[in-house]
Structure formats: C-alpha cells, structure tokens
Structure 1
Amino acid sequence: MKRIATLLLLAGLAGPACAQQNPALATYPVGTTTLTLSALSTGLDTPWEILWGPDGFLWMTERGGRISRVNTTTGQVLPLLTVADVTETGESGLLGMALHPDFSLSPYVYIVYNYTETGTLKEKLVRYTYSATAGTLSNPLVLLGNLPATTTHSGSRLLILPDQTLLMTTGDAQLQPEAQNIASLNGKILRLNLDGTVPANNPTPGSPVYTLGHRNPQGLVRAAIGRLYSSEHGPNNDDEVNLIEPGRNYGWPNVEGFCNLPAEQTFCTANNVREPLVAYTPTLAVAGIAAYSNPAIPQWNNSLLMVSLKAGTLTNLQLNTAGDQVTSQANIWTGTYGRMRAICVSPQGRVYIGTSNRDGRGAPATTDDRILVLENRAYTPNSVRSRQSDALALWPNPAAGSVSVRLPEPASSSLTIHDALGRVVQTVAMAGRKEATLDIRRLAPGLYMLQTQMGNNVLARQLVVE
C-alpha cells in the first residue's frame, strides 16, 4: 500500500495547497493589506503567456516555442513541448495560449504562434491534445493559418468564453489599412468555435471578425461581471485599455486614443467607434491584463490588473459597478523588475507575473526571466488549515477502472469526485468507513479531485484517470 502524505487543496474545491514561503523581494501596502512579492521560477526565456490550469499548475508559453507546466509550490518547470516550427525573430514567436474549459473531457491546448512558409512570416492558431499520464502535447491540428505577419504587431492573446467560443487578438502586421478592412483578419479580435469554424451569431455572418480597428492588442480578459477588456499598444502615443463589445470599431489607424480631433470625431460617428476606457501618452507598452475579484485583496475587488513592457508597471484599474468605466488607477511599482508581459490570478487570489527582460529590449539580470508572485500571506481561504496527518491517500494513481481510498479516520460525510471545472461527477457514501474501493469506469480520462469533510477540515486529492 502506498500512502501519500500530503494534502492537496485546489481552488473551487477545498482551497489551495499551502504555498511555499519563498524569500520576499519586497512588500507593498494596498490599503490595510500588505502584499508580499517573491520569485517562483527563474532562468526562463521570455515568458509570453501564463495561465492558471485546472490541475493547480501554471501553464506557460515562452516565445522561443516551449510550452510548460509550472509547479506553484516549488517553481519547478515541467516542459511539455517545444513547438518545432515556431519562428522567433523580433517580436514574433510563440504567443498566447488557452485551455479547453472542459479539460478533463477535452484536454485541448490552444496556441497561436508565428512560423515561416516559403520564406514568408505568418501566424496560425493550433490545437494540441494533452496527455496527463505521459506529460506531453501531441496531435497538432491547425484551426486557422496563413495569417500575414511581420516581426512586430502580431498580437496575440487567446480567451475562451463561457459559450465555448474562442477569441483571438491579431495585430495589424504593419499593414495599417487592413485593420479597417472587414475582409482581412489583421488588426482584429476574431471569434471562432473551438473546432475552428465560424459561429453563426458572429457580428458579420460568415466572418470570424468580432471587432476591428486594432493596432496590436496584447491583453485580453473576461471579468467576473461578464465584461471583456483588452489592452492595446499605441504608436508613440495613446496606449489603450478597451471595453470589448461585439461588432464595434476601435478606430485604428484613423483614430488614436479618444475621438478628440475633428477628423477623428467624424470617423467615430460614421463607423461605430468605441472609445477606450483609458489611454496613455507617453506610452507604457501595455501588455497582459487580468481581472481581480477575490477576498485575498479586498481593495482590488472589481478591478483590472495590467502589466507593461516599456514602463515596467503593475497597474491597478478600479472599475465602477457596471464595469464600463475606470474610476481610479494606481501603479503598484514602476520599472523595478524590468519589462513585464504576462499576468494571471489564481483562484486563491495570488497574482503571478512573467517578466520579459530577455526579449531583446530589456536588461536581463542573472535570474531573468522570472515568474513573480504577489500575495497576501496573511490570508487563508475558507480558514482551511491543512495538516499532513489529515492526508487522503489514493492508490493506484493514475488509475483506470477502480481506485482505492484511505482516510486517517472514519468519514462522517460522503466522498465526492469533481471534474476539472469543479463539478461533482460522482458521490460515494462512506458510511463511517476509513477505506473504500471506488468504481471509476464511467469517468473519462483526465484530471479529477476527490474530496470529503473531516471535522472542520476539507480533505482533497488529485486523481488522474487513464
């Protein structure tokens, strides 16, 4: 019998695993909350995307083509794949990534990257299939390809919406008029079904174009209230944070920032232009953007967090209740850690930030690039305290057909199995038992969480079904 002596608590189920207390780089006061910044992982090469995965790991792309999972306790980087045909030159390379929302049933990973075909730089959207047991990505399927690209202005973030459609930002590829050309896919936010087809209810029937008039949008997020936001690079002026609404025009190249010049006002009136929520001159080189709504940092509820490259800022943008205005802004720091491109928020309220100091424009230190963690260390979600002696043991794991469970003492409640989205897919009555063998033949291969209540503690452990 193999006893597993650690307790894994994942978000949406029983709270987080106890995070390793890495040495503090700095502390930052936010109202009455003290935030601690530390380094999770070092020695990276231009992280472009970091996502919170349903397995409790960070999922990361690096511009040179590597896709990895990052252990959020130890910082260990677990490579999955280096995409062979990625072309990294200038600002091009492996860019955004998204994970299928039903990851346990459909373990698909979506990436967008630049590649070279017959000597010409292009961009494509590709879907891979993840194997949890092998720790690999395989079976690439091109969903959208042959997009014009240059070494700058490629975008590109990916975001999957609750209706299981995918948004993809594209830059203008230095072909500025194409941003206003509805027949072109450059300078747009595109909306596709997860198989690459065009949704029937897109703003323009038969077209993947969701919004147009973008220069180089490099941030994309959906807030808890349902609003969509994007951050976008301006030229030498007017970086933008935009509220994304289907079918709207965002002005580029005819409008820079707000509709505040006579020619811009005329164009905006005639072309259904949506002005930005905020604009920045001088520019910051705005990059990743995340939505924050978590009790860990109550002062940031209903806000956006945005990182920038040139200015090296972490900025908090407070939203009004409706989410259609920015009511205040505050920089948490400026320039301290160099260039920053990627940001995500864990279900426990921790903020993960990827630096971009090895992208050719920064001044990398010996530990760059890094993933930094900003957190309220005084906060404990759900007041859960994990103890090794409370560990829930599973064997075998991974498992197929059946799995055995052992608890430290007889259970007073049922055992539940949750899928990667936190949905209960199976309930097992323990009836005062400490051990049981569970029939899992009905579960599709993927990642699951077993959970039960024991006194005031919630015990949970990850299960891999083969």
Structure 2
Amino acid sequence: MSPTRLLTAALVVLTASTAACRKSQAQGTASPQDCVLVEDGWGPAGTVPITVDVVAEGLEVPWGIAWLPGGDALITERPGRVRLLKAGALQPQPVATVRVTRAAEGGLLGIAAHPDFATNRAFYVYVTTDASGKDENRIERWTLSEDHATATFDRVIYGGIPSATYHDGGRLRFGPDGMLYAGTGDARSPDRSQDVNDPAGKLLRLTPEGQVPQDNPFPGSPAFLTGIRNTQGWDWKDASHLYVTDHGPSGETMRRGHDEVSYARAGDNLGWPGIYSCETREGQVTPSLTFDDAAPPGGAALYTGTAIPEWKGSLLVGTLGSRHLHRVEFAADHPARVARHEVYLQDTYGRLREVSMGPDGHLYVTTSNCDGRGDCGPGKDRLLRIRR
C-alpha cells in the first residue's frame, strides 16, 4: 500500500475512534456502585445451605406456573399443554391443549391465574399461534372446571404481539394493582422496543379484560416499560417499583452478552438497543447488574418465604445457558444497588426457566432441558422445590 493510502487509512481509523470515544463520553458509564459488571463468570458460589426436592418430572419445557387457591398449580408446557399439579402430584392428562405454532422460542409460554380465580376460575396464557396465516403472540383467557380436570377457551383478550423465531417474551403475571402484566420480546427488530405504540419489546400492562388502563404511563398504549429486548422475569419490590431481567444482545449492534437486572417503575425506558453494559444515557435506565458473558435469564421472583431467612427480599433468577440459580441481594437503603450476588445449583439441574414463590412459602423452579438446547434425558424436565 502506498504511503498516501496508509495515511488515509490511518485518518479513517482515527476519525472512527474519535467518534466512538465521543459517543461513549456522551453516554457515560455508571459507577461500580450503581452498576455491577461481572467480567469473568457469574459471581461467587452461594454459601447458604439449601435442599432441592424434585416435585415432578416428565415435563416438556415447563414454561410458566400459576398457583391456585388451595395449593394446586397449572403448569404450561411449550408444545401446547396445560398440566395440573394436584396435591403435589403431576396429573397424567393435560387440563387443556392449546394450538401453537412451533417456533424455536415460541409456543405455549406464560400463565397467570385471575386475582378472583376462586370465584371465576379464569386463567390466562401467552401463546404463539397462527392468526390468518401469520404467526403472532397473543394472550388468551380460559376457564378451569370446578374439579380442575379440564379447561375451556374463553376468548383472546389481547392479540397482535409480534412473533419471530427468537425473542417472543412470554411471561404473564398479575401485579399488586390487579392488572395483568405481559413481557414481550423485540421479535428480532430492536428499534420496535422504543416505539410506545408497538407492543414488541415491552412490559405491557392490561386490565383483566385486555383493555388499556387509564393510568398507564403512555396514554392509550398498553406499554408500561419500554426498551426491552426479551424479558422473561420480573417481580415487584413494592406497589410502584419492579426488578426486571432482560436478555443482552446476540450480535445486534456488533455486541454480545450483558444480560441485565434492572430496577424500574412505570414509564421507564430500559435502554434497548441504545445502551449496553453499564453505559448511561439520559432518560434510560442503567442496569444494576450485568455480565460480560450471556446467561441468559429466565424467570425471576423475590424471595418472600421464611424457610431460608438469609434469602429474604433477594431476587432469585433462573438462568438458561449458564445453568444456575442466581441470587441478588440489594442494599436496604438503595434498592437499585446490588449489595451482593451469588450462584447456586451451577450445572446441577441444567437449564432453569421459571422461578416462582409457592403458596407454601418455598421457591419453585422449572428446568428447560428439553428445549433443544439442553440434555433432555429419560426423566425429561422437572419441577424443583428449594428449601433449607
């Protein structure tokens, strides 16, 4: 290459480097106290002694759990079956079979029981299905029979959520306000996450009838949080604040890894695809915890039981690729700041999907080893109970 071309190439690199530096400075980086970046592995091994019980096995990608009054539970299997856990035993026949489109990450996903289930026996599922020849995610309402043995379809309460091979979201939970919250993915189109009028890449908030609540942060929109890539887990710190997990990039914007745990409230923008790792940007939420390597996170629940007092108030997060249960403890005087975090069940039960507090005060976790990315084995997937 001639000296002139060498000089030109050097100037191009210098200009690009300077622009990148200016961009980084404009965004900024949070302090280690406000955003913990784990650069190697996942964190220290957990020190609290625990016991794991296998409550049920023979499941196929159990994605969500809905606890019912009296202690029974409905469990979704991604291929389209709703199973019943009755008196602690998994019943052999499905309660319902839901028509699904078998995309890589789609299918029958989240489930939630109506707050007034004791009187109306209504429950909701998040499902990937065919709608007039096109795949979409939607939320359906079903009614369980009095004996809990069968269920009948009621209606679609919210449809038209974009679907793709990856990033379908899928978690459903009722909040302390009685509203239905649904986590959606960006359907492999990152910029949709920033559009409040597009349901992709959001945490949606709906009435039990599927309407937009009048007090939503964006008038006329079901969006409660924006800037999400593919959340599968969140829980409420209190009536107005949540801890939310989200998947980091898998090559988009030339970046990878950096799954997140964030502290958020109504109307917050979690920053996808704009901020990354511990970057800061005005009007967007910098995560409290992030990892160089991809975990990525499944379900999440705050520990509210008494069986493991050391975990009280901690966020427990199931992870898929990294195959462990992550405990995050937050500072008492600064709920967005991580006080400590640690790893449990590393490479013990494989991929972990749903994390849920049961009515008995114990934490329940499902495995996801039959989803094509783990070792399914003859016992297939399991429901685990974690206690002292």
Equivalent residue number for residue 359 of structure 1: 371
Aligned partner of residue 55 in structure 2, secondary structure:
strand
Pairwise CA RMSD of aligned residues? 1.9
Would the aligned equivalents of 2:65 and 2:112 in 1 still touch at CA under 8 Å? no
2: CA distance, partners of 1:146 / 1:226? 27
Shift of 1:104: 1.1
One-letter amino acid of the structure 1 residue matched with residue 128 of structure 2: N
Q: Which has the higher Rg, Structure 1 or Structure 2?
A: 1
The CA distance in 1 between the partners of 2:116 and 2:289, in whole Å, is: 34
* Mapping for residues 290-309 of structure 1, pairs under 5 Å: 290-309=301-320
Identify if the C-alpha distance between structure 1 residues 247 and 253 changes in structure 2 by more than 3 Å, giving closer, same or farther.
same
Q: Give yes or no for the alignment of 1:284 onto 2:300.
A: no
Distance in 2 (CA, whole Å) between partners of 1:72 and 1:228 is 31
* Runs of 5+ consecutive residues of structure 2 not aligned to the other structure: 1-44, 250-255
Query: How far apart are the structure 1 equivalents of 2:342 and 2:288?
Result: 15
Distance 1:107 1:345 in 2: 20
CA contact (8 A) 1:41 1:77 kept: no
Match of 1:60 among 45, 65, 75: 75
Q: 2:248 aligns with which of 210, 231, 234?
A: 234
CA gap of 1:291–1:90, structure 2 versus 1, over 3 A, is: same
Q: TM-score, normalised by structure 1?
A: 0.69
What per-residue deviation string (whole Å, max 9, x for no partner) do you get for residues 133-158 of structure 1? Answer: 36222132111112221111000211
The 5 Å alignment of 1:6-405 reads 30-31=47-48, 34-71=49-86, 73-77=88-92, 79-83=94-98, 85-133=99-147, 135-223=149-237, 227-235=241-249, 236-259=256-279, 265=280, 268-269=281-282, 272-321=283-332, 323-376=335-388
**Overall identity of the aligned pairs, in %:** 34
* Distance in 2, Cα, partners of 1:225 & 1:179: 24
How far apart are the structure 1 equivalents of 2:168 and 2:136?
9
1:111, CA displacement in angstroms? 0.8
Change (3 A) 1:134 1:280: closer
Distance change >3 Å, CA 224–CA 52, structure 1 → 2: farther
Q: Does the residue aligned with 2:310 lie in a helix, a strand or coil?
A: helix
Q: Which TM-score applies when normalising by structure 2?
A: 0.82
Q: Is the 8 A contact 1:224 1:293 kept in 2?
A: no
Distance 1:30 1:349 in 2: 21
Cα deviation 1:266-290 (Å, max 9, x = unaligned): xx21xx1011111111011111101
Q: Secondary structure at the match of 2:159?
A: strand
Q: Deviations over 1:406-462 (max 9, x none)?
A: xxxxxxxxxxxxxxxxxxxxxxxxxxxxxxxxxxxxxxxxxxxxxxxxxxxxxxxxx
User: Contact 2:161–2:184 (CA<8 Å) still a contact in 1?
Assistant: no
In the superposition, relative to structure 1, how do residues 129 and 75 fare at CA in structure 2: closer, same or farther (>3 Å)? closer
Change in 2 beyond 3 A, CA 1:278/1:118: same
1:192–1:170 CA distance, 2 compared to 1 (3 A): same
Identify, as 1 or 2, the structure richer in helix: 2
Question: If each structure's strand is expressed as a fraction of its own residues, which one has the higher value?
Answer: 1
CA separation of 1:103 and 1:89: change in aligned 2, threshold 3 A = same
- Cα distance in 2 for residues equivalent to 1:157 and 1:138: 21
CA distance in 2 between counterparts of 1:64 and 1:75 reads 17
**Contact conserved, 1:293 with 1:302, CA < 8 A, in 2?**
yes
Secondary structure of the residue aligned to 1:370 is strand
1:222-244 deviation line (CA, Å, top 9, x unaligned) = 24676312211111221011223
Q: Is 1:71–1:77's contact at 8 Å kept on the other side of the alignment?
A: no
- What code does the residue aligned with 1:60 have? I
Q: Tell me the residue number matched to 2:39.
A: none
Gaps of 5+ in 1: 1-27, 260-264, 377-466
* Alignment partners' CA distance in 2, 1:240 and 1:155: 15
Residue identity opposite 1:120 in structure 2: K
